C-alpha cells in the first residue's frame, strides 16, 4: 500500500514541478501581458495543486492534510482574484514605469 | 532514492524555475509583468516550502508556507491598488471605462 502511495507522490510532485516549469517558460516567452497571465495562473494553480496532492499521503492524516488543503485553497482564491485585478491593471497600462 | 530525496530535488527544481521567472522582472515592459513574476515567486516559494517541510518532517515549515500564501496575495493587491490610482488618492473610484 505504501509503495502505491509513494509512486502516487512521485508522479504528482513531478507533474507539479513540470507545470511550474511550463508556467515559467510561458511567462518568459509569451508576447503580451494577458497571455503571460494565462501562463502564470497555470503554474500557480496546477503546479501547486499537483504538489499539494502529491504531498497529501506523506503528512499526518487528519491535521497535516487539512493544513495542506487549506494552504492550497488560500492560494487558489488569492490567485483567481489577483489575476482578475492584474488583468485589469495590465489592460489599463498600469502606472508609468 | 527515497521519497524525501525526491521532494528535496523537486523543491530545488521549483526554486530554479522561480529564479528563471525572475528574468521577467528584468525584461518586463509593464509593471503588471513584474508583478506577475513576483506572484510566481510567492507561489514557487510556497511550493518549495511545502516540499521542504514534508521532506524534513518539520511541521512548522507548513505554517510558514501558510503565512507566505497570505502575504503573497496582499502584495499583489497592494500593487493593483497602487496601479489603479497612482496619486494614492483612494477616495475616487477607478475610471477604467
Break chain B into its structural domains and give their ranges: 3-84
Q: Is B96 helix (H, G, I), strand (E, B) or coil?
A: coil
Q: What is the pLDDT confidence band of residue B74, given thresholds at 50, 70 and 90?
A: confident
What is the pLDDT at residue B72? 87
B13 to A3, B30, B45: CA distances (angstroms): 24, 28, 11
Mutation target for B interface from A30, A48, A52, A94: give the one with most B CBs within 10 A: A94
The complex scores an ipTM of 0.85
Of A10, A20, A27, the CB nearest to B6: A10
Which is nearest to A25 in space by CA: B25, B17, B41, B80? B17
Of B3, B70, B76, the CB nearest to A9: B3
Residue spans of the domains in chain A: they are: 2-91
What would the pLDDT profile of B1-33 be if each residue is shown by its tens digit?
788 899 999 999 999 998 988 887 888 777 778
Amino acid at each position: 500500500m505504501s509503495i502505491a502511495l509513494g509512486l502516487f507522490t512521485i508522479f504528482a510532485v513531478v507533474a507539479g514541478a513540470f507545470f511550474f516549469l511550463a508556467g515559467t517558460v510561458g511567462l518568459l516567452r509569451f508576447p503580451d501581458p494577458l497571455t503571460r497571465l494565462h501562463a502564470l495562473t497555470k503554474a500557480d494553480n496546477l503546479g501547486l495543486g499537483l504538489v499539494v496532492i502529491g504531498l497529501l499521503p506523506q503528512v499526518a492524516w487528519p491535521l497535516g492534510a487539512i493544513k495542506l488543503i487549506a494552504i492550497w485553497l488560500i492560494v487558489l482564491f488569492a490567485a483567481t482574484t489577483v489575476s482578475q485585478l492584474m488583468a485589469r491593471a495590465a489592460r489599463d497600462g498600469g502606472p508609468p514605469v | 532514492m527515497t521519497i524525501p530525496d525526491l521532494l528535496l530535488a523537486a523543491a530545488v527544481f521549483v526554486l530554479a524555475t522561480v529564479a528563471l521567472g525572475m528574468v521577467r522582472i528584468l525584461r518586463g515592459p509593464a509593471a503588471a509583468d513584474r508583478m506577475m513574476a513576483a506572484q510566481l515567486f510567492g507561489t514557487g516559494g510556497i511550493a518549495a516550502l511545502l516540499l521542504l517541510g514534508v521532506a524534513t518532517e518539520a511541521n512548522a515549515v507548513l505554517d510558514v508556507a501558510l503565512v507566505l500564501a497570505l502575504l503573497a496575495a496582499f502584495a499583489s493587491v497592494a500593487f493593483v491598488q497602487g496601479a489603479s490610482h497612482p496619486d494614492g488618492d483612494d477616495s475616487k473610484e477607478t475610471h477604467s471605462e
